[in-house]
Homo-oligomer: A and B are copies of this chain.
């Protein structure tokens, strides 16, 4: 089958460092190629894939300081994909509500996997306009706010089984926090838990532009107070994860939002 995979432009596919959605899109794309399908991946130009890459932008948006208006890039991506729609048997979108108006008015079948939260009130308004669009959830719970959409399947994550293997002989000396600094992900709770337990906390996480204010106002002062007990090591890549997690007594994941899936857990 001629399959189009349309990835978000925020991170490369797969991401160099942090990034859930683009990791899942990468695993899915590579497996479809391995199964013998003719796959085209619409993604940022720094993506690495065995599929045919249609590079919408030279670089992933999060690491591209030139780009101020990310929405214009996604609008352009939808238009470029639409112009090639007749070349595919099926198109699989991973970019939320953006394709709906355009793609429901052409004839190639398409579906959308939703990778994020759905509990904002405006999402009912925008997704509710398209009850016919085939939707895939990444957990059954994710559907809760919008149960009446045309959900066709839950597909959990598609990550390779052997991706993370314990590193033998590593002493387990700290609590680990892995992911993203934001109110939803519970970094403040993690710091308090580790401090209360008297266990050192290592934080391997990114700070998004959108979360900089939160980091400066809420997290940095807390970190300053417990500096001896917390080590902030920044973002890590896939190769660094096994040692980071193997050295931990426990992974702290004290989320504070309706996490749609949470790759950190697997």
Instruction: Identify the closest chain B residue to A127 (Cβ).
Output: B72
**A126 in contact with B76 (CB, 8 Å):** yes
Indicate the size class of the contact surface on chain A: 20 to 34
**A126 in contact with B72 (CB, 8 Å):** yes
Q: How far is the CA of A127 from the CA of B192 in the complex (A)?
A: 49
Chain A 88-109: CB-based contact to B (< 8 A → 1; otherwise 0):
0000000011101110010000
Stretch at the interface among A25-33, A61-69, A166-174, A256-264: A61-69
**A79 in contact with B101 (CB, 8 Å):** yes
Instruction: Identify the closest chain B residue to A78 (Cβ).
Output: B101
Copies in the complex: 2
**A72 in contact with B213 (CB, 8 Å):** no
**B126 in contact with A97 (CB, 8 Å):** no
Residues of B within 8 A of A213 (CB): 212-213
A83 to chain B, nearest CB (A): 9
A120 contacts B by Cβ under 8 Å: yes
Chain A 42-69: CB-based contact to B (< 8 A → 1; otherwise 0):
0000000000000000000000001111
Residues of B within 8 A of A255 (CB): none
Chain A 105-130: CB-based contact to B (< 8 A → 1; otherwise 0):
10000000000000011110110010
Residues of B within 8 A of A16 (CB): none
Residue of B73, B80, B97, B212 touching A72 (CB-CB under 8 A): B97
Q: Which of A197-253 contact B (CB under 8 A)?
A: 212-213
Which residues of A approach B to under 8 Å, CB–CB? 66-69, 71-73, 75-76, 78-80, 82, 96-98, 100-102, 105, 120-123, 125-126, 129, 212-213
Q: How far is the CA of A96 from the CA of B71 in the complex (A)?
A: 11
Given contacts A72-B97, A79-B100, contact A66 B121 (CB under 8 A): yes
Residues of B within 8 A of A66 (CB): 121-122
Q: How far is the CA of A30 from the CA of B239 in the complex (A)?
A: 62
A120 to chain B, nearest CB (A): 6
Q: How far is the CA of A224 from the CA of B73 in the complex (A)?
A: 40
Residue of B72, B78, B122, B212 touching A67 (CB-CB under 8 A): B122
A105 to chain B, nearest CB (A): 6
**B75 in contact with A123 (CB, 8 Å):** no
**B129 in contact with A69 (CB, 8 Å):** no
**B105 in contact with A73 (CB, 8 Å):** no
8 further A-B pairs in the complex, CB-CB below 8 A; given A75-B97, A80-B129: A66-B121, A66-B122, A68-B120, A68-B122, A72-B122, A73-B125, A75-B126, A102-B102
Q: How far is the CA of A73 from the CA of B123 in the complex (A)?
A: 9
